[in-house]
Chains A and B, each alone.
Chain A
Amino acid sequence: MKCESCGGNLSLEDVVCPHCDALNEHAVQHIRDMNKYRREFQGTQKEVQEVARNHSGIMVRVVAVCILIVLIVVGFILNKELYSIHGDMIERKAIKNAEQNMEMLDRYIEEGDYSAFNVFFSYTGVNTYSGPYEKYNRLRSATMHYANIYGSIMRLKKVDEYGTRETILKSIGDDMSYFYRFFQKDDFYYVEESDWQYPYICDIEDRIKALLITYMGVTREDVQNFREMTNAERNLVIEESYLDEE
């Protein structure tokens, strides 16, 4: 490039001519342009950086939303399955401590604490058709029906608050029907006289009979024939005896 004033050689960086000190308009314009481009570049760079930053922000938020959704779904499932998980844990614990628990259960049976025996199985939910507690398969069911019958008989005293008389009588009838399956030869639940559980089931039967005679007004003659009666006959006897006594 030549100086317009003296014709000397100039570079684009020379703002004034090194030969005649004249102002180099091209260099001034060049600096102005460079500043403008630098500003534009910085503006664009800033915008690009902001876009990139926002993009990362969006990604982080999307990931957070996904994690939260997963956690909420897990929470819902957990809440729904908590009882089942807890039940499984209790059952596993009961199986793990079977030996110790069975000592306790045998003591309950010997002492006639059938309610306690029943609560153990109700709470733990352990299977009595297989596994360590299999030997109690009939007693577990017998004590459950006994506990229901005992509770129902006692509940009849508070009939206004804890259910109608009809529903309680029906409940007693249902449990009696289930209970007497232990003595029906053609029934799945039939208990042989040789079975170790048989004497205890008879003891529970005697207790149920005593409770029915005492608190429901059933006669001794009637209870003696309970095993031979049909479910309907038995239930009718109980219901009529109770209503008569009332």
Chain B
Amino acid sequence: MKNKLKLMKQDSVITALNVALVFLVIVLLITILTVRTTYKEMTSDNYDELSFSYAIEDQAYYTLLDKYYYNLTTTGKENPEFQEYYGVAKYYEAASLYKAYDTVGNTEKALYYQNKMQDYEKDMGDWSMTKPGILKSLGLEE
């Protein structure tokens, strides 16, 4: 009788522990998923293609530069798949600096960035269609 009572008590403890185990396993899974997501976000340091194309569509050309340099720093090399986006980023920077130096009459630097513009224009590939938009946004219409 005493054992039976003990068994009944144990059964209820086991049931409670089972419920706790299921709950904790769920919490642990959520925690693992959260850590995994955070880790993925953290280590996928590079801006992806979509991020570049959105910036171009949005004509937020200046943001391309940060993305470009960020990718360059995190990976230590230029990703050939992003070459055209990088071309747009660098072209925009060169064009903005060309205009600035040209305006203040620093011909040496203006020429340097004008040459850079020509170099980066080749890298723009299909995105060279953005060139008129970039020049217009900088007040450098051809």
Contacts and interface: CB of A to CB of B under 8 A. Distances in A.
Contacts of A118: 69
Given A61-B21, A72-B27, A75-B32, A50 B104 contact: no
A59 to B, nearest CB: 10
Contact of B100 (A44, A48, A147, A213): A213
A123 interface: yes
Interface in A45-62: 47-48, 50-51, 54-55, 57-58, 61-62
B70 A79 contact: no
Contacts of A58: 10, 13-14, 17
A83 interface: yes
A57 B9 CA distance: 13
Contacts of B21: 61, 64-65, 68
A76 B99 contact: no
Contacts of B25: 68
Contact of B72 (A44, A83, A86, A119): A119
Contacts of A220: 104
B65 interface: yes
A214 interface: yes
A86 B43 contact: yes
A206 B42 contact: no
A68 B7 contact: no
Contacts of A119: 66, 69-70, 72-73
Contacts of A162: 60
A71 interface: yes
A214 B17 contact: no
A86 B42 contact: yes
A28 B4 CA distance: 32
Contacts of A47: 3-4, 7
B11 interface: yes
B106 interface: yes
Contacts of B42: 82-83, 86
B10 A44 contact: no
Contacts of B59: 158
Given A61-B14, A64-B21, A119-B66, A71 B28 contact: yes
13 contacts: A47-B7, A50-B3, A51-B6, A58-B17, A61-B18, A75-B32, A82-B38, A119-B69, A119-B70, A210-B100, A214-B100, A214-B104, A220-B104
When A and B form their complex, which 5 residue pairs have the shortest distance between CB atoms, in order from nearest?
A: A154-B62, A75-B31, A61-B17, A119-B69, A68-B24
